[in-house]
Structures are given as structure tokens and as C-alpha cells.
Amino acid sequence: MPYSPAMNGIAERANRTLTETAWGLLIEAGLPNYFWPDAVRHACVAKNRALTHVGEDKWVPYEAFSHRLL
């Protein structure tokens, strides 16, 4: 069945991870809810800059997408 959560589990999990990370950032910083868009943006940037492959050719998602090194 199209458009059902069961069909896009990877995307649903990625969204949940971003949401939970953003809430954690807001809570730890003691910021009000109107900083939500900034927290989500920061969580996304942090996720895209995090090392995801360990080995000789280490890379982060940003480098893989843009073909530029950080």
C-alpha cells in the first residue's frame, strides 16, 4: 500500500532520530519551543557531518553528497 509507514521505514526512522535529537538539544539548552526549527536544522547538520564510515577512506555524508572535503 503506497504512502504507508511500513513502506518507508528508513525515512521514518531518520525523521524520528532528527526529532529526538532536536528535542534533546532544546531540553539540554533550556530553550523554548520556538527554537524548534533551529534545533532540527542543527541536528540535521550534526548528523550530516558525523563520521559514518571507519577505515582507510573515512567520509561524512556531506562529503559524499557534495564531493568536497570538509
Domain boundaries along the sequence of the chain: 5-66
State the Cα–Cα distance between residues 61 and 30, nearest whole angstrom.
29
pLDDT greater at residue 11 or residue 52: 11
Cα angle value 22/24/27 (rounded, 5°): 110
Nearest to 45 by CA among 23, 21, 12, 24: 21
Whether pLDDT at 48 is above 90: no
pLDDT at 2: 66
Indicate whether 9 pLDDT > 70: yes
Can you give the pTM of this predicted structure?
0.70
DSSP conformational letter for 15: H
